[in-house]
């Protein structure tokens, strides 16, 4: 190969790579092993994993253990859906376009916004794409106001991408678990491009959008809300509050945890922002014979349009995962979506009361919640989690990992997979772990 390209050696091939980015030594790799030894090693590594089928898990913080019906795998495994790539001659793929169209319709109905794209990678990148939309819409405005209740991964992704746009990010603090409305109002100004909220927020609080949205809109800022699609079965949709863009993580809709991915992100907005949205939009039409058909109405990928006009560089739209989402919503139906939301609400209320009754455990805030709530522990949280894990219970997420101000906080998530008996077991196990840790602390 070197001869074919006219290079004398490997060193000559890489001569243009600066010395500063070269490793300068051989790769630190172990000696080769027989295949059966490698297999045994990888098998032992895999055995260290613990799934939600091995323990009673109350871990959430953005990814949740919901039941995925067998129907979803049955449909996803069909070759028409499983094997195709992005349709470069889209109108030939009528089935794929119809799936996109039905998915978009479902997301629009959930969010209360008229336009949805055909999905993006996942929740945090959807938030970042919404930030880019806001920047394009109001280029002279140079600040984003971001609630501290926005998911940490979304805040990090937005911060990383907005550096390239020259947009500064200012965080709005929480008060009793909710975005501080007074702090938001004081921070608003004519240089604020967008306000970012989460509904419910990272601590599980159902934010009062009736108060937060009008304040932001009065200052001329766009309002971008990351929302939980299953909670929207019982909450007012973001569109009802005048929200401009609604985005979120779609994992809860028919996608398993799968070690953190893949999943898909959803993105919905008003018609006015259609040409600044990322991704693709499928539309419905009729052919020359008057038959119903589907077309790819909008593509904003840099490979398809002029690069300077592109609004993203996503190479796929996680279409298979989004298909799982629309199958799941169809399986639930309108009534089922409401019933699931009510079930989560009831079990979460029961769990919140049960943990509040445990010695050494107190609610972190008093705000309304749907599926997730935060408590504080009178003990080292990581040590308590470790003790619970030894008993086959994952009690939740240690908030101090992302929010240092809540170093004693524990975020507890409830899904339909967690029964009353599971919640009672959590209360007993958590109580025993907290008590044991308190004894370890010298008086």
Confirm if 231 and 370 have CB atoms less than 8 A apart.
yes
Total domains in the fold of the chain = 2
The answer to whether residue 23 sits within a structural domain is: no
What is the C-alpha to C-alpha distance for residues 387 and 392, in angstroms, rounded to an integer? 9
> In this structure, are residues 368 and 236 in contact, taking their beta carbons and an 8 Å threshold?
no
Determine, yes or no, domain membership for 319: yes
Tell me: do 256 and 391 sit in the same domain.
no
Of 209, 210, 214, 205, which is closest to residue 225 (Cα–Cα)? 209
**How many whole angstroms separate alpha carbon 94 and alpha carbon 102?**
12
Give the pLDDT of residue 178: 98
- Do both 277 and 247 map to the same domain? yes
Residues 259 and 381 in one domain: no
Can you give the pLDDT at residue 94? 87
* Sole residue written with tokens 């996503």: 314
Two tokens, residue 423? 């919640």
Residue 307 lies in a domain: yes
C-alpha span between 154 and 373 (Å, rounded): 19
CB count in 10 Å sphere of residue 181: 15
76 three-state secondary structure: helix
Dihedral sign computed on CA atoms, order 237, 239, 242, 245: positive
- Note whether residue 407 is domain-resident: yes
Q: What is the pLDDT of residue 65?
A: 96
pLDDT 10s per residue in the chain (443 long)?
Answer: 999 999 999 989 999 999 899 988 989 998 999 999 999 999 999 999 989 989 999 999 999 999 999 999 999 999 888 887 776 677 788 888 899 999 999 999 999 999 999 999 999 999 999 999 999 999 999 999 999 999 999 999 999 999 988 999 999 999 999 999 999 999 999 999 999 999 999 999 999 999 999 999 999 999 999 999 999 999 999 999 999 999 999 999 999 998 888 899 999 999 999 988 888 889 999 989 999 999 888 876 555 566 666 666 666 667 899 999 999 999 999 999 999 999 999 999 999 999 999 999 999 999 999 999 999 999 999 999 999 999 999 999 999 999 999 999 999 999 999 999 999 999 999 999 999 999 876 65
Residue 398: alpha-carbon gap to chain centroid = 18
- Alpha-carbon distance 253 to 233, whole Å? 12
Q: Is residue 45 part of a domain?
A: no
Burial class (CB in 10 A: 0-12, 13-18, 19+), 318: buried
Is residue 134 within 8 A of residue 295, CB to CB? The reply is no
Which of 328, 351, 383 is the last residue before a domain boundary? 328
Q: Assess whether 92 and 192 both reside in one domain.
A: yes
14: in domain = no
What are the tokens at 386?
């470790």
Tell me: do 256 and 124 sit in the same domain.
Answer: yes
Confidence at residue 303, expressed as pLDDT on a 0 to 100 scale: 56
Q: What is the pLDDT of residues 244-276, one digit of tens each?
A: 999 999 999 999 998 888 899 999 999 999 988
Q: What angle do CA 298, 221, 197 make, to 5 degrees?
A: 85
Q: 79 lies in which domain range?
A: 70-328
In angstroms, rounded to a whole number, what is the distance separating the alpha carbons of residues 188 and 183? 9
DSSP 132-156: HHHHHHSTT--EEEEETTS-HHHHH
CA distance linking residue 279 with residue 277, whole number of Å: 7
CA-wise closest residue to 174 among 370, 367, 375, 353:
367
- Tell whether 319 and 189 lie within a shared domain: yes
208: enclosing H helix or E strand: none
Residue ending a domain, among 328, 350, 373, is 328
CATH of the domain at 352: 3.90.1150.10
Please list, in sequence order, all residues whose beta carbon lies within 8 angstroms of the beta carbon of residue 240, skipping any fewer than 6 positions away. 112
- Return d(Cα 56, Cα 107) in angstroms, integer: 31
Closest to 259 in 3D by CA, of 403, 422, 427, 51 = 51
Q: What are phi and psi of 223, to 5 degrees?
A: -110, 120
Q: Tell me, what CATH number does 104's domain have?
A: 3.40.640.10
User: Is 240 part of a structural domain of the chain?
Assistant: yes
Residues 317 and 420 grouped into a single domain: no
Angle between helix 381-390 and helix 420-440 axes, rounded to 10 deg: 130
Helix (H) and strand (E) counts in the chain: 13, 17
pLDDT of residue 279: 83
Residue 43 lies in a domain: no
Work out whether strand 56-57 and strand 393-394 pair parallel, antiparallel, or are unpaired.
parallel
The two beta strands, 265-269 and 245-249, are: antiparallel
């Amino acid at each position: 190969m070197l001869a074919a390209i006219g290079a004398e050696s490997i060193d000559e091939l890489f001569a243009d790579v600066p010395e500063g980015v070269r490793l300068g030594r051989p790769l630190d790799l172990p000696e080769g092993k027989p295949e059966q030894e490698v297999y045994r090693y990888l098998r032992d590594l895999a055995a260290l994993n613990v799934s939600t089928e091995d323990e009673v898990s109350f871990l959430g913080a953005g990814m949740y253990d919901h039941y995925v019906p067998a129907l979803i795998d049955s449909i996803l495994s069909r070759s028409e859906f499983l094997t195709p790539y992005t349709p470069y001659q889209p109108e030939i793929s009528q089935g794929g376009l119809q799936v996109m169209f039905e998915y978009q319709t479902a997301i629009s109905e959930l969010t209360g916004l008229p336009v949805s794209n055909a999905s993006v990678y996942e929740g945090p990148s959807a938030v970042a794409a919404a930030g880019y939309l806001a920047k394009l819409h109001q280029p002279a405005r140079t600040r984003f106001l971001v609630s501290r209740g926005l998911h940490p991964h979304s805040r990090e992704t937005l911060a990383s991408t907005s550096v390239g746009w020259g947009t500064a990010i200012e965080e709005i603090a929480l008060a009793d678990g909710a975005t501080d409305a007074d702090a938001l109002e004081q921070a608003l100004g004519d240089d604020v491009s967008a306000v970012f909220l989460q509904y419910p927020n990272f601590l599980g609080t159902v934010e009062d959008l009736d108060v937060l949205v009008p304040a932001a809109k009065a200052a001329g800022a766009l309002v971008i809300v990351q929302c939980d699609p299953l909670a929207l079965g019982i909450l007012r949709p973001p569109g009802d509050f005048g929200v401009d863009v609604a985005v979120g993580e779609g994992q809860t809709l028919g996608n398993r945890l799968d070690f953190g991915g893949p999943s898909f992100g959803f993105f919905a907005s008003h018609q006015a922002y259609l040409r600044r949205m990322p991704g693709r939009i499928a539309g419905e039409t009729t052919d020359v014979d008057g038959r119903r058909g589907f077309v790819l109405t909008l593509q904003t990928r840099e490979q398809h349009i002029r690069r300077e006009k592109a609004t993203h560089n996503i190479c796929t739209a996680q279409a298979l995962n989004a298909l799982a989402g629309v199958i799941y919503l169809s399986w639930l139906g309108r009534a089922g979506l409401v019933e699931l939301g009510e079930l989560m609400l009831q079990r979460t209320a029961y769990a919140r009361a049960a943990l509040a009754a445990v010695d050494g455990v107190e609610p972190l805030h008093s705000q309304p919640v749907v599926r997730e709530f935060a408590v504080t522990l009178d003990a080292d949280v990581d040590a308590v989690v470790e003790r619970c894990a030894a008993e086959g219970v994952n009690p939740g997420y240690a908030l101090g990992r992302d929010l240092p101000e809540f170093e004693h906080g524990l975020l507890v998530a409830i899904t339909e997979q967690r029964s009353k008996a599971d919640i009672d077991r959590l209360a007993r196990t958590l109580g025993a772990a907290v008590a044991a840790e308190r004894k370890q602390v010298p008086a």
